[in-house]
Chains A and B, each alone.
Chain A
Amino acid sequence: MTVFLFFLMGGLTLLGALGVVLARNPVHSALFLVMTLLSVAVLFLLQDAELVAAVQVIVYAGAIVVLFIFVIMLLGVDRSEALTETLRFQRPIAVALGALVLVEILLLAGHSWATGAETTSGVPITGGGDFGTNIQRVARVLFTEFLWPFQLTAVLLVIAVVGSVVLAKRSGQPVGDEIDAAPGPQGESVP
């Protein structure tokens, strides 16, 4: 059952990833991205990562993809892109480089990626004492050993929210009239 689920979900993951890259329409790419994210969530479940799987579905498939689709609909960029090559041979070289990355990971890193390193947190995933469920184990590690990085993520999120608000606001003009035909240098000064 585990073997069947792994190959089914792994195949769906790669199929969705190829769909993201190959689909002409950005909306189709976003929907293929949802397929990949849900398949990866099932793969998380297969590896005893229940909380991570739930967060993957809620945050990634729920929030981030909705943000993508919202921007696609807002901008109306759901038309196929031009196939003219501004750089000659860019796409074959890109595919060759991607294959090279895969071979590098599999050959070079594959030699020693099961290193048998020591555990760091002292909280095992299964067993090992009275640590409770998966959520309790993750919370124990997150709020003890990783407390300082956890606080820093709050700072990062605040910076991201403020930055996106500043970027999305046109300086000195109301937000309503977005399309005017003056793409010249306006000197938009963001302090």
Chain B
Amino acid sequence: MSIAPLAASLEITPSYYLVLAAALFSIGAVGVLVRRNVLVMFMSVELMLNAVNLTFVAFAKALNDTAGQVLVFFTLVVAAAEVAVGLAIIVAIFRRRRGATADDLTVLKG
């Protein structure tokens, strides 16, 4: 079996990166919906943000424009701010309720 000629003829177009980013985003979305641990839900949100970053960089490469790479920094700043505030909220909740799963947070249930 020789895959070297196949690999030589194959060219990685931006669509490959976009499909990969779409798969990464979907896995992150499923993670947010499936998991109960709030920390793991936050990590899944990070996966979705990384998929968006990958899309930005892929389009920057495809359109040959640096603005796509610059926008990654803004995503990164938003991710950092979200993690800081979110983890502070988790710590505050954990002090009150001795647990950090989404099932514990039913105070607002009508």
> Which of A's residues lie within 8 Å of B, judged by CB?
2-4, 6, 10, 13-14, 17-18, 20-21, 23, 26, 29-30, 33, 36-37, 40, 43-44, 46-49, 51-52, 55-56, 59-60, 63-64, 67-68, 71-72, 74-75, 77, 81-82, 86, 90-91, 94-95, 97-99, 101-102, 105-106, 109-110, 113-114, 116-117, 119-121, 123-126, 128, 134, 137-138, 140-142, 145-146, 149, 153, 156-157, 159-161, 163-165, 167-168, 170, 178-179, 183
Contact = CB atoms under 8 A, between A and B. Distances in A.
A21 B45 CA distance: 11
Interface SS, B side:
helix
Interface in B15-50: 15-20, 22-31, 33-37, 39-40, 42-44, 46-47, 50
A140 B84 CA distance: 29
Contacts of B58: 47
A52 B54 CA distance: 10
A167 B92 contact: yes
Contacts of B28: 17, 21
A14 B43 contact: no
A185 to B, nearest CB: 9
A177 to B, nearest CB: 10
Contacts of B70: 121, 138, 141-142, 145-146
